[in-house]
Amino acid sequence: GDSAGVVLPADSLTVPSFGDGLAMSDPVLGWRPIALTWVREADTVFFSPFHGYPGAETLELYYEVYGMPPGSTYQTELRVSPRKPGSRRVPPPAVRVRFAGTATGTVTSGRRTLDLQQFKPGSYWLEVVVTDARGRRTARRTWFDVRAPRPRR
C-alpha cells in the first residue's frame, strides 16, 4: 500500500519469441543459509545477491533453457575455471562435469548442487553449456568467490 512506499500502476512486459533458436537464462547461484527463494511452479530456486560465500560447502545452481521440443535430448556441461578479478578472459576449465537430459517443455529448467569443498579460496568462473539433439549450442557464465570461513568470536 501507499504507507509502505511508492505505489506504481500495473504494467506488462512483452517478451520476444526465441523463434527457432536455442537460448538460455543466466545461471543463478544461491546459498541456502541466505534463504532467498523464488517459487517457480513446483520448484524452489535459491538465489543470492552476493558473489562471495564464506564457509559455504555447497551452492545451488539454477538455469532455464528455451527452444527445445518437449521430449528431445540434450547435453549439459558445467565448466569451472579460475578467475582473475578484473579480467573477462576465461582460462581452460579446471573442472568439467557433463550430463544428459530430456527437455520437459518449451522451458526446461536445470538444477545442480555444486560442492565447493574441493576448491581452494579464490575466484572462479562457472560456465553452463547446453547442446541440443540438433547440435545447436548455447552458453552462459557467472562467477563466484570461495572464501575461508570467518573466525568465530
pTM of the predicted structure, to 2 decimals: 0.81
47-99 confidence digits (pLDDT tens): 888 888 887 889 999 999 999 999 999 999 999 999 987 888 888 898 999 99
Selected residue with higher pLDDT from 19 and 43: 43
Residue that the C-alpha cell 538444477 belongs to: 111
89-138 confidence digits (pLDDT tens): 888 898 999 999 999 988 999 999 999 888 899 999 999 999 999 999 99
- If you average pLDDT over residues 133-144, what whole number do you get? 95
127 phi, psi to nearest 5 deg? -115, 135
DSSP H helix total and E strand total for the chain: 0, 11
- Cβ neighbourhood burial of 56 (10 Å; 0-12, 13-18, 19+): buried
- If you average pLDDT over residues 23-29, what whole number do you get? 94
Q: Which residues contact 152 (CB under 8 A, 6 or more apart)?
A: none
Distance CA 114, CA 62 (A): 11
What's the pLDDT score for residue 38? 86
> Does the pLDDT value for residue 149 go beyond 90?
no
Distance, C-alpha 153 to centroid of its chain: 34
Q: Where are the alpha helices (DSSP H) in the chain?
A: none
Q: Which residues contact 91 (CB under 8 A, 6 or more apart)?
A: 81, 82
> Does the pLDDT value for residue 31 go beyond 70?
yes
- If you average pLDDT over residues 25-47, what whole number do you get? 86
